[in-house]
Amino acid sequence: MPPLHTYYQEFQPAEELKDIIQCFWYYKRAVGKEQSCFEVIPDGHTEIIFHFGDGLDLFDNEKLTPLPFIMGLQEGPVCFHIKNTMEIMGIRCYPWVLFDLLDIPSGKGIHLPKHPVSQLYPDLNALILSGTIEPAVARIQQYFLELFSQKSFDEVLSKAGTAIRAAKGSIPVHEVADSSHATLRTLERKFKKSSGKTVKDLCALIRFEQVRNELMLNPDANLAGLAYELGYTDQSHLTREFKRYAHVTPAAFARKCRNEQ
């Protein structure tokens, strides 16, 4: 098998977009001619994905056209089949605002062949092919700045999202409701409509993401300490929740990260 060659870079959004977009990112991975699986582990964000070339071949046994699609909040790992060189640009968004921003129904995965955002593809493709990543990011950001200036956002969702982000998911649902000055019923209805998930489910995903990120950076991290830090009942609780989303135990995931390092 030929060696893997990867490159990843994140770009911070303009100040006006920081309550909508966590970051823009670019990822390139060369794997050779043989098709292989590229696994995406769930996290607490929804993302708009632009992919270029023929490297990203299949998604859930469905052919991908070279147009953007949305990765919604996932229940478990998703396997993309890749070959040759995969190049991706992503917009990592907070799930309680993205679908409203684009005026589309919430969901786990959505193709956007007719959405105005797909019109960015020709410009982005030309920039990526020429190797100029930062101008491509600037082009995407300008689109979202213009879109942001035309939209108004639900105050309940904005306040709830701010509270969840500040607590990194370790916050009871009733405290989220108090922070957003809404009843539990109103909050849950709005969240389900805007992100496709309940507040509790989203908080669980965000906490899982904290554990996942820590193990990726530090596979020898103490799980009991992480459980305490992130508000899990105990290490067993952390393990159950981690396995729910990663489909492997945190110990097995840490071993994989250690081997890759």
Burial 165-199 (b: 16+ CB within 10 A, else e): bebbbebebeebbebbebeeeebbebbeebbbbeb
- How confident is the model at residue 1, as a pLDDT? 38
| Residue range(s) occupied by CATH 1.10.10.60 in the chain | 155-260
Please give the CATH number for the structural domain made up of 5-149: 2.60.120.10
- How confident is the model at residue 254, as a pLDDT? 94
The answer to whether 202 touches 103, Cβ cutoff 8 Å, is no
- Give the single-character DSSP code of 231: T
- How confident is the model at residue 260, as a pLDDT? 79
HEC states along 46-112?
EEEEEEECCCEEEECCEECCCCCEEECCCCCCEEEEEEEEEEEEEEEECHHHHHHHHCCCCCCEEEC
- How confident is the model at residue 3, as a pLDDT? 45
C-alpha separations of 257 from 40, 78, 82, 126, 261 in Å: 14, 18, 20, 34, 6
Among candidates 30, 23, 21, which has minimal Cα distance to 53? 30
Low-confidence ranges of the chain (pLDDT < 50): 1-3, 58
| Residue range(s) occupied by CATH 2.60.120.10 in the chain | 5-149
Residues belonging to the chain: 261
Instruction: Please state, as a whole number, how many other Cβ atoms lie within 10 Å of the Cβ of residue 6.
Output: 10
Options 3.40.640.10, 3.40.1160.10, 1.10.10.60, 3.40.50.970; CATH of 155-260 = 1.10.10.60
pTM for the whole structure: 0.89
- How confident is the model at residue 65, as a pLDDT? 63
Q: What are the tokens at 79?
A: 């396997």
- How confident is the model at residue 54, as a pLDDT? 67
The answer to whether 12 touches 23, Cβ cutoff 8 Å, is yes
